Amino acid sequence: MQKKRKYLFITGGVVSSLGKGLTTASIALLLEKKGFKVALLKLDPYLNVDPGTMNPFQHGEVYVTDDGAETDLDLGHYHRYTTSNLSRASTATSGQIYDAVIKRERRGDYLGNTVQVIPHITDEIKHRIIQCGDKEDADVVLTEIGGTVGDIESLPFLEAIRQFLYEHPRDSLNVHLTYVPYLKAAGEVKTKPTQHSVQVLRSIGIIPDMILCRSEQSLSEELKAKISLFCNVPPNRVFDEIDVETSIYEVPLMLEKQRVASTLCELLSLEDCPVDLSDWVYLIEKIKHPKGKLTVGIVGKYLQHQDAYKSVFEALEHGAIAAGYSIEIKTFNSDELDFSIELSGCNGYLVPGGFGSRGWEGMIYAASYCRKNKIPYLGICLGMQSMVVDFARHVLGLEQANSTEIDPNTPHPVISLLSEQKNVTDLGGTMRLGAYPCSLNEKSLAYRAYKKSKISERHRHRYEFNNKYLQSFKDHGLEVSGLYEEGNLCEIVEIKDHPWMVGVQFHPELKSRPTDPHPLFRDFIQAMIGHG
């Protein structure tokens, strides 16, 4: 008999930024370690169709999947903690849900019926949940609901979940993540916010099956019993999720110590089996006991938001952990750099992606500084393009060289739009999104990192290296070491007489994991160690 698929819904209460994404990813990791195939879905209440056009200062980074979906940064957590395949089916926003329903209404699919939130919007949400599981043929589907319980915009999602739990009572459950604050003035932990959060959930018709308590310190059995009583959840299903000591990668170990995944298996009638987390235990030991420290400079334009370059920061840490080092990130706002003062104090520099002219000259300055001083440099997307423009200006002698994104009238457009992109008016329509293959030059630093000649990486950009200038670059020592052959598009550039200066048009940070660091970040870290 075919095994029934199980569904977990993770909600959050009291305040935002509790770590629902990390919690969801950690539970998914534990279930994977128990032998179950998991699928992950993030439901976001905002009306944007996707985060692609949202300000990084508001939303943080955009995580891109192989099939070109621009998604919430929580999918980055899902990738780093699990092996689950992420795709367009792994994300849905209110904008996407309403757009799909309105398009059906315009086609006449509803046969003249009044289109309403219930049942049409909620049916579409439930369809997305089922579709996510079907696409991956998953044993367990974990669905994280963005926002905080009590927000007006999340009500359709919570109503859809209420219906789903009612329709699948033995195969679905709700895990509620809440905040239990310590009030210094009172000298005690307060459970009232959690009680109110669960009261809101219960008023919608959802009674949590499990409560995870985010707090600064472990809760006493007395406090857990109080939460249990007032929230109608058995005391053995109230768990701590306290602030970790060293790294966010400790969260799965903390949850496993309390047998959270085993409890979920029991509730869902799944066969429980032991979990081997030795690789994660080893990871944490390496983090706690580094043999040295490296400092990397990030020269970017969205540094005021801690999550705008989330995957970049994580990938740097992955590479450092693999080498046995800790890493300190020193940030430089590219639009505030004083060009009369040299960059200093770092073992290497990284210029990440972005859009627009703000901070552009600062990025070029960073590339120029690293080129002249033989300091390890990794340029990602816009960081690769700034490296190209610096080389054109200061080595080729093309003083007004630029990207047409920055200066449409530059006499030397070494970075430009492809001809087929120029008449597209939809911003998303000009983007190269998702995974593209790349062929590597076997004498390159890139090949040394990947140790293979064919790779696939994810893109999110509009402007490309202009091949009209290719020969001139080669003649002066800048090599194209990676190529998308079908479109004859430059993917990777390197400077020949430099110990390690690499620019990539794609986003390698999106494919890095703590237990499997990305090859380019691993070798960038090694180059920094060698630089001293």
Residues designated as active site: 381, 507, 509
d(CA 53, CA 360): 19
Task: Supply angle C-alpha 387, 388, 392, rounded to 5.
Answer: 120
DSSP H helices, 395-434, are none
Reference 326, options 289, 351, 352; nearest CA is 289
Q: Which two tokens stand for residue 263?
A: 């409890």
**Partners of 440 in the β-ladder:** 482
391/388 Cα distance (integer angstroms): 5
Residue 486, classed as helix, strand or coil, is: coil
Tokens representing residue 332 in the block:
């430089």
Q: How many CA atoms lie within 13 A of 116 on its CB side?
A: 4
> What is the rounded distance in angstroms from the CA atom of residue 26 to the CA atom of residue 38?
12
- The string of DSSP letters for 235-298 reads GGGEEEEEPPSS-GGGHHHHHHHTTHHHHHHHHTTPPP-----HHHHHHHHHHHS-SEEEEEEE
| SS3 assignment, position 164 | helix
The whole-angstrom separation of Cα 461 and Cα 18 is: 31
Extract long-range pairs of 230-237: CB within 8 Å, 24+ residues apart.
230/191, 230/195, 230/198, 231/194, 231/195, 231/198, 232/198, 232/202, 232/207, 233/198, 233/207, 233/208, 233/209, 236/263, 237/209, 237/210, 237/211, 237/263
